[in-house]
Structure 1
């Protein structure tokens, strides 16, 4: 490939991502309330069954909004057994700061319709304390490559994780794809939780199994 062709290839990849995002978001908006409620219950149960969650002391997550899959009280689900939960705060440059979840009354309205923690910000590097991260996404492929909404927030955050941290994305059925367009900065996840099953990618043996 010539040097002149490289920008065209990059533009084509970005366009492919945008087209796939548009299709997936449209499909999510067509899901009815009953399907979303079923998925929320099933995903909450799947999270509760993860050995990685049982072993975790600190979990980073988010508050699902709109048509995003997962229980609305995701942070509360993860905070069981005295677990510390970190929630993101979206910064103007699309990076993520983090604050500790202190119950549903501590959540405030954030940018772009998000729900964010109202406590003291701990800095973008606070995610390095997380043993497990629940990541939002629109799709994931068979290699664990995740398609997000395009801001790059979580790719930057995941680059700060400690080695061995467990990462999982919550999805609807039909959002596990054979392949998603990926750029060099994109970060894979180690598992996808869908309403009917949990799919693991790569070396993801449960804690204590070795």
Structure 2
């Protein structure tokens, strides 16, 4: 099925038989991502499907799962050759739990919101964590055009929290950030620079 079959797994190296429906190859999804970047749908630098595997393994570690289990989840070799020979356990239930937790983390990102239509501070923070390669020029234009004072202040606070290099190239004085304090998290703490309330645990 992986080489000359009709559908389930990728066709390799363009070996599809004449007249057969075209199957995806190992680069199909990468080409799809490339087109999205060309259309400026994304502005970060994760341009290959393989990069998503790194994101998954990083998040599994952050969620407290053992790195060996994270490797099993990605079908990577965990341990050395001796471990592979002596340990035949498939870790199915453990992998199932890890994938379920990862799916729960991804759901609000994929859907754009939680059940109430809101993105949590935690998920906004996790999203910001990976935005290392944003374009300062594009960000500058977007922040100038943004009409929400709260959104702009929160964005700048999150960027500073993760110490992104592009932040120093922005000009907050040109973003109409308003005056006074803004309540974003009830019962939270006041962030002194941007004058917004954020969750105490952050």
TM-score (norm 2): 0.29
TM-score (norm 1): 0.28
Q: Going by fraction, where is strand more abundant, 1 or 2?
A: 1
RCO higher in structure (CA 8 A, sep ≥6): 1
Larger Rg: 2
